[in-house]
Chains A and B, each alone.
Chain A
Amino acid sequence: MAFSSIVALLVLSLAPPGDVAASDVPNDEGGKIAVSWTRSPDTTVTSYRVLRQAVGATEWETLGFVGRLASTYTDDAAANDRQFQYRLIAVSPTETAESEPSAPAVATAQWFNTETLPALIGSAILIFVFLYFINRARRDRNLFIRRISGLDHVEEALGRATEMGRPTLYVPGLSSIADVATIASLNILGEVAKRTAKYGTPLIVPNTDPIVYTVAREIVKESYTSVGRPDAFNQDIVFFVTDQQFAYAAAVDGIMTREKPATNFLIGMFYAESLILAETGAATGAIQIAGTDAVAQLPFFITACDYTLIGEELYAASAYLSREPLLLGATKAQDYSKAIIVGLILLGTLLALIANVSTSRFM
């Protein structure tokens, strides 16, 4: 071959990708290896072919193709605790160029996700604060908890229903038992049921989730028993309606207009039906106490209901109503934890401001 031909071939040949490196993807359950490389400087490259070979094997297998701008690839089918090597082939319309293989890498499963370390530290601090206040509540049984207007009027609302001889309606939201808002609502239902049992006020609890229905029924039954009125409980108090959102809203609206409850509790997780329920209740003239942590539904409840438990108040309600010292201790801890978070936000803002000012001064 003539010297000029060899030079032309060298000049025209495609430059392969370089620095191919492979490493285990951290903080996962294994089975993944991250591959990275330096892109070929050649502008005619259209894609890269990713190849893998288990150490000791003779064949290279193609894992897939990535675009010309890619410089990383995650192999999510790598067997754990087995060594693999990777190599890239740059592909252009006319030719290909193969990289050197990477050093062997092994996929392993991790026992701790280091990305969750801040969450672990934060949780540990909050648990410490909670345990401290719960212990303090054991000694000092008169912890002060700020007044929550909506809960202060529960007695009044139930008293009104009793005087008028009309029922009380309790809607425990439309979410499942897996939702903590539903659990908080069921805790409040227990306290409300104790009072309706004591006053002899009829209670209506329609449910949209079969599991919530079974739990709610047991809670109401226990509440009636705990105040010495097991005879006043009947199966019709708590019932399942449907798991369809708007069919449920129609059924509850029907109960509101037919039975005319004097008091409506709309407490738990609500979605688009919140205003349909709250406005119908307002139209029937009932006193309405609502509570939800669904931020999008809060304005509707604030507008259409007499009292609204906003966000965290929903979770403090059962402690507030039962006045149980240990529960009050946890509520107190909730307030202090919030103060800690607010303090950290202020500190962070201050540090960011200082950093900003000092950077701009020296620039």
Chain B
Amino acid sequence: MQRRLPLMLVLVTGIFGAVAFFVPHGAVRSVDEVFRNDVQRILAAFSLVLGVGSIVQHHLTKIQRKASFWQYSWITLTALVLTAIVGVFGGIDPNRPGILPTHIGSFSFHIQTIFSNMMVPLAATMFSLLAFFMSSAAYRAFRARNVEATLLLAAAFILMLGAVPLGRAIHAELPSFAEWILAVPNTASKRGILFGVELGIFATSLKIVLGIERGWLGGGGGK
């Protein structure tokens, strides 16, 4: 029963989801929206509690065992507790303060201030690393080690030249050729991959709905 119930639920909701795609009637659509929005939101709320529990447990274990770099776990747990207190008791809306004061003079430690002045810049810093990683990845990709890498290098070189005035100076048709590479071979290969992806999604969905694929239930494999 522990396995049969989830399988039956997946079969029913899977078939219903497919039916809802073809049937526009309100009776079907409204139930579909309940599944898609309300049920999913309720599950997400419960799982968030499990997620926070996981973070706390993971870092407490690290601290208890004095695992490598366990000191960082203190920072994580302290930040988690402090932001939770500020968010829960200080209020979410800066114009409607909660029971906890979130300003000391002009110094604000409101949850929105913490998010805008700490989370956003830190995320932007991580994102900006992408520029450096792109350079190193490009260096690796453009070492013409084999035929594929050489083709990649040649295509990239033409595209780069086609995008700058120097390309037109070398040959008047170079920008058009660069555009053709993007519009024809590049789009064709992308669409080829997407065909495979859509079929893969179809196959996986069908396997799960029919109960052939049970990896998501744990233990992997089919029946």
Q: Which residues of A contact B (CB under 8 A)?
A: 27-30, 109-113, 116, 119-120, 123, 126-127, 130, 134, 178, 180, 183-184, 186-188, 190-191, 194, 207, 210-211, 213-215, 218-219, 221-223, 225-226, 235-236, 239-241, 243-247, 249-250, 254, 258-259, 272-273, 275-276, 278-280, 282, 293, 295, 298-300, 303-304, 310-316, 318, 322, 324-327, 330-331, 333-334, 337-338, 341
In whole Å, how far is A27's beta carbon from the nearest beta carbon of chain B? 6
- Number of B residues whose C-beta is below 8 Å from A? 68
Query: What CA separation (Å) do A187 and B217 show in the bound complex?
Result: 9
Query: What residue of chain A has the Cβ atom nearest to residue B61's Cβ?
Result: A236
Distance A362 CA – B193 CA, assembled complex (angstroms) = 39
Give Cα A259–Cα B125 distance, bound, in whole angstroms.
23
B222 touches A326 (CB 8 A): yes
Contact B197 A187 (CB under 8 A): no
Given contacts A183-B208, A245-B123, A334-B199, 10 further A-B contacts (CB under 8 A): A123-B202, A127-B206, A178-B40, A210-B47, A219-B217, A219-B220, A258-B68, A304-B140, A315-B197, A337-B202
Bound CA–CA A278/B24 (angstroms): 43
Docked CA distance A180–B205 (Å) = 7
Neighbouring B residues of A222 by C-beta, 8 Å = 217-220
With contacts A116-B22, A241-B55 taken as known, whether A29 is within 8 angstroms of B69 at the C-beta atoms is no
Q: Determine the distance from Cα of A113 to Cα of B18 in the docked complex, in whole angstroms.
A: 13
**A282-B133 Cα distance, complex, nearest whole Å:** 11
The answer to whether B219 touches A315 (Cβ under 8 A) is: no
B50 within 8 A of A: yes
Q: Chain A's nearest CB lies how many Å from the CB of B22?
A: 5
Contact B140 A184 (CB under 8 A): no
Flag if B201 contacts A180 (CB, 8 Å): yes
Main secondary structure of the interface of B (DSSP, over half): helix
Q: Does B165 contact A (CB under 8 A)?
A: no
Least Cβ distance of A222 to chain B in Å? 3
The reply on B94 being an interface residue by CB < 8 A is no
- Could you tell me if B218 and A218 are in contact, using CB atoms closer than 8 angstroms? yes
From B24, B119, B197, B220, give the contact of A318 (CB < 8 A): B220
**Cα A353 to Cα B190 with chains together (Å):** 23
B147 contacts chain A at the CB level, 8 A cutoff: no
A276 with B129, Cβ < 8 A, contacts A186-B215, A322-B221, A338-B195 known = yes
Determine the chain A residues whose CB is within 8 A of the CB of B168 once the complex forms. none
In the complex, A280 Cα to B213 Cα: how many Å? 33
Which residue of chain B is the closest to A219 with respect to CB atoms? Answer: B218
> Chain A's nearest CB lies how many Å from the CB of B87?
14
Do residues B220 and A235 form an inter-chain contact, with CB atoms below 8 A?
Answer: no
B24 touches A110 (CB 8 A): yes
How far is B210's CA from A330's CA once the two chains are assembled, in angstroms?
11
Chain B residue contacts of A221, Cβ below 8 A: 218
Q: How far apart sit A280 and B203, CA to CA, in the bound complex (Å)?
A: 33
On whether the beta carbons of A210 and B24 are closer than 8 Å, the reply is no
Q: Which residues of B contact A315 (CB under 8 A)?
A: 197, 199-201, 203-204
